[in-house]
Structure formats: C-alpha cells, structure tokens
A and B are shown apart, each in its own frame.
Chain A
Amino acid sequence: MAQLNMVQAINQALAYEMEHDDRVVLLGEDVGRDGGVFRVTEGLIERFGSERVLDTPLCESGIMGAAIGMAAYGLRPVTEIQFMGFTYSAFEQLFAHAARVRSRSRGRFTCPLVVRTPYGGGIKAPELHEESTEALFCQVPGLKVVVPSGPYMAKGLLLSALRDPDPVLFLEPTRLYRLIREEVPEGEYVVELGKARVARAGGAVTVVAWGSMLERVLKAVDGYDAEVLDLLTLSPFDIGAVLASVRKTGRLVIVHEAAKSCGFGAEIAATVAEEAILHLRAPILRVTAPDVPVPLAKLIDHYLPGPQQIRGALDEVLQY
C-alpha cells in the first residue's frame, strides 16, 4: 500500500470514481490546466478531458447553480470552491436551492452534488483563506457536511460522498493537505457518512474534534486517559457515538477551531445535555477560537486553539 498525503488521496478518490462512473464531472476555478491551486485535481483533465473537468470563469454562484442543474439532470457534479471563504457568494445556490431541490420537488428532482473546499487555519495565507464556518452549513437541513482528518479517511469519505444521493459539503483541512501521510489502499473502499471514529480509546474524559484540530488533540492528550472521537461527519453527526463515550467517561471536552459562539460545539453540548446530562461528572467545556474574525499570519497562532488550552480544559474537567 502506498503512503499518500491527503491531496493525493482525494485525487485518487476523484479519479477512481470518474473512471467507474461517467456521471461524475468536476467544475471550478483553475481545476483543469492548473490542477487546482492545491493540485488536488492534478492530471484529471489530461485523463478525462475538458468535458469532464471544467475550468470555469470566476463565478462561485454560477458554479454552484450550474452544478445543481447538472445534478438534477442526472450527473454527479463535484464543484471545487477555491477556499471556504469564497463559498459565501454561493450561499443562495447552496442554501436556498441545493439543499431544497429534493424537498421542493418532492423527490422528482434531486441534487447529488459534492462541494469540495479547503478550509481551516494555520497556513499563513491572505484574508478569507482560513475560514472555518462549518456550523453555518450544518444549520441548513438538506445538506450534509463532512470533514476528513487525514488521507485514509479523506478517500473513503469522498467516495461515499460521491455516491450519496444528496448534496454534501466536503471540507478539506488545508493545514493537513501535506502534513500527514498514511497508508491508503489503491482501490475502492468507503467510509460511511454519519459515523464517528474512536481515534484513541480512553476512560476518563471524552474529547470530540474534527479536521485539523484532531491532529492537535491527539498530540495534546498524551498522558491523559482520554477517549478521542473524530467526528468526520458534522451533519448529520454521530449522536450515538458521542453519547456512548460520554456515558462511559462522564466528561466531555469539545475542540474546534471556529469561533465559540454558535460554533458546532454548541450543538454537540446541547445534545449531550438533553440526552445524557445525568451521566456528566463535570461541565461540558469547549476549547475554541475567540469570537473574532480569523486573523492574518501574525496572530493566527494566538487564534487557533493550542495544546495548552486543550490540556487546560482536560485538567479542569478531570479535577472538577
């Protein structure tokens, strides 16, 4: 088995599915000739041609809207939005349409669309290139939100997303693109959407994370009896797995790199409070970024949650 980084793993998933399903087409800015600004689609236009890999004009709303039409017609479009911050001008297409084609047409038309976009901080890029506003998308019924945490998961989850009957936002943690290498099987395998993964077993405290925070959490919990859950799908999230772990440990720390207020941690905490409050031996703590816009390079390290804050929260719930 080959050791791949996440860029290569995602590329493999796209190539595999394009090879086996002629409905799969890619569209976005710079995805063809340039192979995408992170090279995720490298080589695909050469292999599958410019009818299946479309270099589009600069128009996120147009890209998203067009993909909806393609999906309704029976194709399986994959859009690449260059950075999460540029999905904002496509909100109308995504929220008012992609997420509602099925319900609005009562199933006569559907929208099996995958929206891929790099997301998250820590790459010292310009403004709007390090956003993590995943919770916004999780509030929209009719849309699934998936966040891989490494190459193996990325390939398996993307293959599932490509076969899913509904629109899926696939958030690729930019900081991890080339940070982690893992064994990735060459052929086909799928990782089911909606299922969390126990990334590390433990008994005294549950830590829930996703995306690039998972990597930080796994380093920070060294020496603690912590169970780490990699959520992988945020919408719908694996309530059963979170509850099972919390019932066992009695403590919950949620770590995300988005701002605290109305971040996805709030949804997890509220669900645990509703379903398992009597199992808790300490308050649920959230380790998050502060409620400020994502800063540029000079301050980004003070913005993203670091190991100290994660350990601080662990100590707090363990000593409660």
Chain B
Amino acid sequence: MPLESIGKFETKRLGVLNERGEADPDLMPQLSEEEIRRMYELMLLARVFDERAVALQREGRIGTYPPILGQEAAQVGSAFALSPGDWVFPSFREMGVHLTLGFPIAQLLQYWGGDERAQKAPEGLNIFPFCVAVGSQIPHAVGAALAVRYRRDPAVVVTYFGDGATSKGDFHEGMNMAGVFKLPMVFICQNNQWAISVPLKTQTATTSLAQKAVAYGFEGVQVDGNDVFAVYRATREALEKARGGGGPTFIECLTYRMADHTTADDAGRYRPPEEVALWRERDPITRLERFLEARGAWTPQRRVEAKEKAARVIDDAIREMENVLPPAPAELFDGVLAALTPRQTGQKKGL
C-alpha cells in the first residue's frame, strides 16, 4: 500500500464587520433595523451590568464576580439567534446571554451576591444554572439533545464554555458523543484567550479551537467574536442546521477577556498591558457603533442615551436585589432532595 492521504481538512473563519465597521454585503445576515438596534442596546446593557457588578463587588455589596467586558458581541450575538424552546447550558461567564434571553437581572446580581436561590430560572426559560466546575456542563447538553431527539422536539441545545474548558475530558467526551449521535446541538466556545493566568497557547497546540471539531466528525468554525453580526450569522446557521437534522456545530468565538479573571484576580501579574490595550481598540461595541454611524443611525449622543436607559434598568435591578430578604437558615435544606431525610428533618428543627 502506498502512503496515501486519507483526509484533508480546512477550518474557516467568519468575519462580517471589519474593525472600521464596514459590513461585507455578501455575508451580512438578515436583520431588521429594529433588531440591530436591539442588539446594540443589549450589548450596552451587558456593558453597564458588568460595570455596575464590578463596582458592587468593590463596595462589598456582592461577592466575587467574573467580568464579561469585551465579550458582549460573542454573547449577545449568539443568544440573539436562539428560539424560545431552545435549551442553554452555560458556564459562569455568560451574563450577556442571560440578559439577552431575559433572565431577571436582579437574580443575576443576587446570585453573585452569594444567594443560590437566584439560580432558579423562570418557568419557560430553559437555562441551566451556572456551572462553576469548568467544562462539566458540556455532557449535560449532550444528554438534553438526546432527549430532544427522543421527544421529536424542534429544540436545539446550546452549551457555552471557555477556551480553558476545551482542555477538559468532558469537552472531548461531549463533543465525541455529539458527533457519534449527530445531535441537534451547538457548542459555543467563548475563546477569550485566557484561563485565569494561562494563555491560549498553553491550553492547546492547535492554531484554532474550531479545528478540534474535525476530529469529532462535524463542522467547526472560528468567528470574529467581537463582530456581533458574524457571531449571529454563525449561530443562526448552526441552529438551522441542527433543527434540520444536520447535526452539531462547534463555534469558536475569538474574543478577549478585557478585565481581570474575576474581581479576586489581578491580571497585571501575568499579561502585558500592551495586549490589553490592543484589544481595547477592538471593542465590539465601538465596532457596531461605527457601522451604525456610517448609516446615519448613530451619534455619540445616541450612546449616552442608550447607556442611560441601560443604567436605569440595571439600577432598578440593584434596588430589587437589595430589597430581597436574606435567606432564612432553614432554607439551607431547600431542594437538597424532594423530601428531607429523617436526619435532615432533625437538623432543620435544631437550627
């Protein structure tokens, strides 16, 4: 047998909006003016939420918080493409997804304030609790997708995770199962290029994360994660494919963690300020504003107004969060099991 090639692979990168805010007309997804306005407002909402959350932590009004600064396009753009019946299995750094899907804002803050009651998603919103153990949510999404298929439902299951999570065994196991069973799933990697102090190049020897999908037998695509239109387009296509029985897709949103890992971290210890400055220039919100400005749909005043509007919404949520009565000690026992064990019953009485 000669030495022959048995496979050739390529990985594509999608960008729609360049850094000057010019959209490629061939790739621009179909979006109404109203939808674009809504995306812009959601990205600003996410930005203001994040600023306020960091400030609240500094003031001791909530606990440790993981900022989403810089990842607004990757989160809003992808969540914007979802349909109401779809399921989401997030990590812990996708508050922009929650905001886009209408998760109660006060609850997000309440959770980061150390109150687990806030993890209860409202009825009708199929979003699983935050997953703190990195990457371990990925197989859950696989299982939900198996159930979707079993029930012949039109839903698609989406899971979000970071670049660091792609190093976990659960990522491999979940991706592999999704490929084997050709499941209605979309894997959305928020590649913000850092996992605490560990840079992407220590996470993987591959040139992209998207190419990993090849090894599981389905398509992977890298998108410019600071380009809300590219993220939206890639997600919508992947969702349509999944809904039509075409199987899973892996989307790598190449973005950047502009802030510290969490409010307990100091990124100045391990990454060069020039790198952060470079990415600050690539701010996803500014890019969308350039696009809107060229169409005569944006002025600096517009940002001020939209920010004020977002700030009012967030400030109301902060008030609401701070008016929530702290949990009673007996609530420790809520929901551990459907019914308390005899010992738990005794412990609850003895509190």
Query: A residues bordering B, Cβ < 8 Å?
Result: 29-30, 32-35, 37, 55-62, 85-86, 88-89, 124-129, 260-261, 290-293, 295-300, 302-303
Report the separation of the CA atoms of residues A290 and B343 in the bound assembly, to the nearest whole angstrom. 9
Q: Is B196 an interface residue (CB 8 A)?
A: yes
Q: Is B83 an interface residue (CB 8 A)?
A: no
Report the separation of the CA atoms of residues A52 and B202 in the bound assembly, to the nearest whole angstrom. 16
With both beta carbons as reference points, the residue of chain B lying nearest to A58 in the complex is identified as B164
Q: Known contacts A291-B336, A299-B327; is A29 also within 8 Å of B195 by CB? A: yes
Contacts of B179 in A (CB 8 A): none
Q: Is B332 an interface residue (CB 8 A)?
A: yes
Q: Is B270 an interface residue (CB 8 A)?
A: yes
Contacts of B264 in A (CB 8 A): 37, 125
Report the separation of the CA atoms of residues A260 and B350 in the bound assembly, to the nearest whole angstrom. 14
Q: Does B197 contact A62, Cβ atoms closer than 8 Å?
A: no
Question: Which residue in A58, A296, A298 is a CB contact (below 8 Å) of B203?
Answer: A58
With both beta carbons as reference points, the residue of chain A lying nearest to B202 in the complex is identified as A55
Report the separation of the CA atoms of residues A56 and B205 in the bound assembly, to the nearest whole angstrom. 12
With both beta carbons as reference points, the residue of chain B lying nearest to A297 in the complex is identified as B114
Q: Does B269 contact A59, Cβ atoms closer than 8 Å?
A: no
Contacts of A124 in B (CB 8 A): 63-64, 114
With both beta carbons as reference points, the residue of chain B lying nearest to A290 in the complex is identified as B347
Q: Is B27 an interface residue (CB 8 A)?
A: no
State the majority secondary structure of interface residues on A. Answer: loop
Q: How many A-B residue pairs have CB under 8 A?
A: 115
Number of interface residues of B (CB under 8 A): 43
Please give the distance in Å from B319's CB to the nearest CB on chain A.
Answer: 18
Contacts of A291 in B (CB 8 A): 336, 341, 343-344, 347
Question: Which residue in B203, B270, B332, B336 is a CB contact (below 8 Å) of A34?
Answer: B270
With both beta carbons as reference points, the residue of chain B lying nearest to A300 in the complex is identified as B114
Q: Is B169 an interface residue (CB 8 A)?
A: yes
Q: Known contacts A34-B196, A62-B167, A125-B64; is A290 also within 8 Å of B116 by CB? A: no
Q: Known contacts A124-B63, A290-B348; is A61 also within 8 Å of B195 by CB? A: no
Q: Does B169 contact A292, Cβ atoms closer than 8 Å?
A: no
Q: Does A260 contact B347, Cβ atoms closer than 8 Å?
A: yes
Q: Is B34 an interface residue (CB 8 A)?
A: no
With both beta carbons as reference points, the residue of chain A lying nearest to B326 in the complex is identified as A298
Q: Known contacts A30-B197, A124-B114, A297-B114; is A57 also within 8 Å of B204 by CB? A: yes
Contacts of B115 in A (CB 8 A): 296-298
Please give the distance in Å from A294's CB to the nearest CB on chain B.
Answer: 10
Q: Does B133 contact A128, Cβ atoms closer than 8 Å?
A: yes
Q: Is B178 an interface residue (CB 8 A)?
A: no
Q: Is B193 an interface residue (CB 8 A)?
A: no
Q: Does B202 contact A290, Cβ atoms closer than 8 Å?
A: no
With both beta carbons as reference points, the residue of chain A lying nearest to B116 in the complex is identified as A296
Report the separation of the CA atoms of residues A89 and B326 in the bound assembly, to the nearest whole angstrom. 33
Contacts of A59 in B (CB 8 A): 167-169
Q: Does A89 contact B164, Cβ atoms closer than 8 Å?
A: no
Report the separation of the CA atoms of residues A299 and B329 in the bound assembly, to the nearest whole angstrom. 7
With both beta carbons as reference points, the residue of chain B lying nearest to A33 in the complex is identified as B270
Q: CB-defined interface of B286-329 with A at 8 Å, one 1/0 digit per residue?
A: 00000000000000000000000000000000000000001101
Q: CB-defined interface of B326-343 with A at 8 Å, one 1/0 digit per residue?
A: 110101110010000101
Contacts of A128 in B (CB 8 A): 132-133
Please give the distance in Å from A88's CB to the nearest CB on chain B.
Answer: 7
Q: Is B351 an interface residue (CB 8 A)?
A: yes
Contacts of A58 in B (CB 8 A): 134-135, 164-165, 167-168, 195, 198, 203
Q: Does B198 contact A30, Cβ atoms closer than 8 Å?
A: yes
Contacts of B329 in A (CB 8 A): 299, 302
With both beta carbons as reference points, the residue of chain B lying nearest to A54 in the complex is identified as B202
Report the separation of the CA atoms of residues A291 and B344 in the bound assembly, to the nearest whole angstrom. 6
Report the separation of the CA atoms of residues A172 and B92 in the bound assembly, to the nearest whole angstrom. 25
Please give the distance in Å from B29's CB to the nearest CB on chain A.
Answer: 33
Contacts of B265 in A (CB 8 A): 37
Contacts of A295 in B (CB 8 A): 116, 332
Can you pick out 6 interface pairs between chain A and chain B where the beta carbons lie within 8 Å of each other? A62-B167, A127-B132, A295-B332, A297-B115, A298-B113, A298-B115
Contacts of A56 in B (CB 8 A): 198, 202
Q: Is B18 an interface residue (CB 8 A)?
A: no
Q: Known contacts A296-B116, A303-B332; is A37 also within 8 Å of B196 by CB? A: yes
Q: Does A126 contact B116, Cβ atoms closer than 8 Å?
A: no
Nearest 7 pairs of A and B residues by beta carbon: A297-B114, A34-B197, A57-B167, A58-B164, A302-B329, A290-B347, A296-B114
Contacts of A300 in B (CB 8 A): 114
Report the separation of the CA atoms of residues A243 and B74 in the bound assembly, to the nearest whole angstrom. 61
Q: Is B176 an interface residue (CB 8 A)?
A: no
Contacts of B198 in A (CB 8 A): 29-30, 55-58
Q: Besides the contacts A62-B169, A290-B344, what 15 more A-B pairs have beta carbons closer than 8 Å?
A: A34-B269, A37-B265, A60-B168, A85-B133, A86-B134, A124-B114, A126-B132, A291-B336, A292-B333, A296-B114, A297-B113, A298-B113, A298-B115, A299-B327, A299-B332
Report the separation of the CA atoms of residues A62 and B203 in the bound assembly, to the nearest whole angstrom. 12
Contacts of A55 in B (CB 8 A): 197-198, 202
Please give the distance in Å from B264's CB to the nearest CB on chain A.
Answer: 8
Contacts of A293 in B (CB 8 A): 336
Q: Is B170 an interface residue (CB 8 A)?
A: yes
Q: Is B136 an interface residue (CB 8 A)?
A: yes
Please give the distance in Å from A84's CB to the nearest CB on chain B.
Answer: 12
Please give the distance in Å from B197's CB to the nearest CB on chain A.
Answer: 4
| B residues 81-115 in Cβ contact with A at 8 Å | 92, 113-115
| B residues 249-293 in Cβ contact with A at 8 Å | 264-265, 269-270
Contacts of A62 in B (CB 8 A): 167, 169
Report the separation of the CA atoms of residues A61 and B167 in the bound assembly, to the nearest whole angstrom. 10
Q: Does A290 contact B333, Cβ atoms closer than 8 Å?
A: yes
Report the separation of the CA atoms of residues A145 and B203 in the bound assembly, to the nearest whole angstrom. 30
Q: Does B164 contact A127, Cβ atoms closer than 8 Å?
A: no
Report the separation of the CA atoms of residues A261 and B130 in the bound assembly, to the nearest whole angstrom. 27
Report the separation of the CA atoms of residues A220 and B342 in the bound assembly, to the nearest whole angstrom. 29
Q: Does A127 contact B167, Cβ atoms closer than 8 Å?
A: no
Q: Known contacts A88-B133, A124-B63; is A30 also within 8 Å of B196 by CB? A: yes
